[in-house]
Amino acid sequence: MDFPSIFPLKIMGANDDDFESLVLEIVGKHATLVGERTVSRRLSRGGRFLSLTVHIQAESQTQLDALYRELSSHERVLMML
């Protein structure tokens, strides 16, 4: 992978009122959001789960690793791609 580049993260969790703001707070500690559609949202069929796709400016593999570690270790993040 070449750096810097725009990198999409997909983060899934329960469809709670503050899930998106929690994810964006964590992402904001590590990276800059970029693009016209910086964050896209998709609800599960039953509406219980929310999938967020967040586009960031990835500067290094170390940065991505730290971001993945923090997000994936959070109790409210169910899955990441």
Residue 73 CA from chain centroid, whole number:
13
In whole angstroms, what is the distance from residue 61 CA to residue 43 CA?
30
The answer to whether 68 and 36 are in contact (CB under 8 A) is no
Segment 16-66, tens digit of pLDDT: 999 999 999 999 999 998 866 789 999 999 999 999 999 999 999 999 999
Cα torsion angle, 51, 57, 61, 63, sign: negative
In whole angstroms, what is the distance from residue 56 CA to residue 27 CA?
8
Domains assigned to the chain: 5-80 (3.30.70.260)
The pLDDT score that the predictor gives to residue 16 is 95
